[in-house]
């Protein structure tokens, strides 16, 4: 083997670089240990503190924590009054949970296609799908870029719909100068380890609506209340009432301690993500084989994901070949997302291919590159080198 060949077959990296990873420091660990040594392991002072700090970070009246983001979405659908036969419009370019929460309430997810540039829900398509059965819209701030929230909220207002924003990707992002979490009726955040900040598993709903807030608290705790003003009768100090069928979706104090400690680092984490994105954008701007992510001027993304879109006309390899070649360079690539209605369960419910052509076309051409605050600039440069190497191998 010639030296040249050896260089070509040797991977850019010796060790595997994941696409996302949490960043836990000693202060985080200490915050959790403090809870373990204290009196409350669940729904105690740490949960209250985390919720208050989260609400004040976002700039809303209320934040309600949940055991995970999916449970939080379920809660939002419940308090929005979504029920059997109702239709809820969402995007197929998301994780299944954005639509599953509608099914939990025996309602019908309706998929609207995405915008060509931002990959977010297209308000024009949303409007076409609104009818008398429509109850809510669930826009997703895909990759951390806010959806067209003003347009979507306007449609909702005109038709008396509720907007539940899935901002699992977008904590720390802004839309027209406003923090994501303040714009829609309710906004959901996820605290899964691949997201910006983590509680292991966890979720949050932010809202300015007191009625939603109180109902969310009750929903995450079996539908039980001890609030004297809400009780139908009162047998004594031990008395509580289960007034509707809720769930046990509470966050523990152990998780919440990790959460408020992580929250202190959120702006730093977002800053590092933005910095790495600008390095990627600069390095890839002149490559005609790929399209870098478009950013609409009204938003400032918090960059959960960095997605390149292949220009397959300029390549001899398929997306699968390029993807596998990047894996062979030890780069932890991924695909976000398989359109939700491609899933066998959705197919079984009657959803067919062809529903959202733009999302389907996008799915064939995308690759997510590693992006997380704990990666180093050398890691970023490895990704850039690997992408350039693979693209030049597969170029026409
Ligand atoms: C992560 C994620 C969720 C679900 O959050 P969990 O905390 O994992 O339950 C929902 N929607 C989107 C878009 C996500 O990325």
Pocket test for ligand 1, best of 73, 103, 168 (most atoms within 8 A of CB): 168
Element (H, E) at 306: strand 306-310
Q: Is the dihedral of CA 244, 248, 253, 257 positive or negative?
A: negative
Mean pLDDT of 4-12: 71
Q: Does the beta carbon of 109 sit less than 6 angstroms from any atom of ligand 1?
A: no
Residue pair 120/147 in contact (Cβ under 8 Å)? The answer is yes
In this prediction, residue 5 carries a pLDDT of 56
Percent of the chain residues past pLDDT 90, beyond the cut: 97
> What is the per-residue pLDDT across 306-334, written as a single tens digit (0 to 9) for each?
999 999 999 999 999 999 999 999 999 99
Fold of 26-263: 3.40.640
pLDDT at 1 over 50: no
pLDDT band at 274 (very low <50, low <70, confident <90, very high): very high
Domain boundaries, the chain: 3-21+266-394, 26-263
pLDDT tens string 142-194: 999 999 999 999 999 999 999 999 999 999 999 999 999 999 999 999 999 99
User: What's the gap in Å between 72 CA and the centre of ligand 1?
Assistant: 10
Question: Closest residue (by CA) to atom 5 of ligand 1?
Answer: 69
Question: Which CATH code for domain 3-21+266-394?
Answer: 3.90.1150.10
Distance 101 CA to ligand 1 centre (A): 11
Model pLDDT, residue 142: 98
The pLDDT-based confidence of 9 (bands split at 50, 70, 90) is: confident
Residue 61 has pLDDT above 50, yes or no: yes
- Atom 6, ligand 1: residue with shortest CA distance: 69
Distance 338 CA to ligand 1 centre (A): 14
Pocket flag, ligand 1, residue 187 (CB < 6 Å): no
For the chain, give the number of residues: 396
Angle at 381 between CA 385 and CA 17, to 5 degrees: 90
- Check if 289 has its Cβ closer than 6 Å to any atom of ligand 1: no
CB of 166 closer than 6 A to ligand 1? Answer: yes
Backbone angles phi, psi at 306, to 5 degrees: -115, 115
Q: Is the dihedral of CA 297, 193, 284, 336 positive or negative?
A: negative
* Mutate-to-test residue for ligand 1 from 70, 141, 203, highest number of ligand atoms within 8 A of CB: 70
Work out the percent of the chain whose per-residue pLDDT is above 70: 98
Task: Say what the pLDDT of residue 8 is.
Answer: 61
**pLDDT classification of 2: cutoffs 50, 70, 90:** very low
What pLDDT is stored for residue 6 in this prediction?
Answer: 53
Out of 109, 141, 165, 166, give the residue to mutate to test ligand 1, the one with the largest number of ligand atoms within 8 Å of its CB. 166
CA of 69 to the centre of ligand 1 (A): 5
HSE-CB at 126 with a 13 A cutoff on CA atoms is: 31
Q: What is the pLDDT of residue 140?
A: 98
Cβ(250) to ligand 1 under 6 A? no
Q: To 5 degrees, how large is the angle CA 85–CA 91–CA 96?
A: 80
CA distance linking residue 51 with residue 29, whole number of Å? 19
Any ligand 1 atom below 6 A from CB of 197: no
Per-residue pLDDT for 3 more than 60?
A: no
Catalytic residue among 195, 265, 268, 320: 195
> Can 396 be counted among the known catalytic residues?
no
Whole-number Å distance, alpha carbon 172 to ligand 1 midpoint, is 16
Q: How far does residue 306's CA lie from ligand 1's centre (Å)?
A: 17
């Amino acid at each position: 083997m010639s030296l040249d060949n050896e260089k070509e077959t040797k991977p850019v990296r010796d060790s595997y670089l994941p696409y996302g990873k949490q960043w836990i420091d000693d202060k985080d660990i200490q915050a959790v240990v403090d809870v373990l040594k204290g009196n409350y392991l669940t729904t105690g002072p740490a949960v209250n503190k985390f919720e208050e700090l989260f609400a004040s970070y976002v700039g809303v009246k209320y934040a309600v924590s949940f055991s995970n983001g999916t449970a939080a979405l379920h809660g939002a659908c419940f308090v929005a009054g979504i029920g059997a036969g109702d239709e809820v419009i969402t995007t197929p370019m998301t994780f299944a949970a954005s639509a599953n929460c509608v099914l939990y309430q025996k309602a019908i997810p309706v998929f609207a296609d995405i915008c060509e540039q931002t990959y977010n829900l297209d308000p024009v398509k949303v409007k076409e799908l609104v009818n008398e059965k429509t109850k809510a819209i669930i826009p997703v701030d895909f990759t951390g870029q806010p959806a067209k929230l003003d347009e979507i909220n306007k449609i909702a207002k005109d038709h008396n719909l509720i907007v539940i924003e899935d901002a699992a990707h977008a904590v720390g992002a802004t839309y027209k100068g406003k923090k994501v979490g303040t714009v829609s009726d309710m906004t959901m955040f996820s605290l899964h380890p691949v997201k910006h900040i983590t509680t292991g598993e966890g979720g949050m709903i932010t809202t300015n609506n007191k009625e939603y807030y109180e109902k969310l608290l009750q929903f995450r705790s079996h539908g039980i209340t001890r609030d004297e003003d809400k009780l139908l009768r009162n047998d004594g100090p031990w008395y509580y009432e289960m007034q509707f069928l809720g769930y046990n979706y509470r966050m523990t104090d152990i998780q919440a301690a990790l959460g408020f400690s992580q929250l202190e680092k959120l702006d730093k984490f977002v800053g590092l993500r933005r910095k790495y994105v600008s390095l990627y954008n600069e390095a890839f701007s002149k490559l005609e084989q790929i399209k870098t992510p478009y950013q609409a001027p009204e938003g400032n993304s918090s960059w959960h994901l960095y997605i390149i879109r292949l220009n397959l006309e300029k390549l001899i390899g398929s997306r699968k070949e390029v993807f596998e070649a990047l894996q062979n360079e030890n780069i932890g690539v991924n695909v976000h997302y398989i359109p939700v209605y491609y899933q066998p369960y959705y197919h079984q419910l009657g959803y067919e291919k062809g529903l959202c052509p733009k999302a389907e076309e996008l799915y064939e051409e995308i690759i997510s590159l590693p992006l997380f605050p704990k990666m180093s600039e050398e890691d970023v440069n490895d990704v850039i080198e690997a992408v350039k190497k693979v693209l030049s191998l597969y170029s026409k």
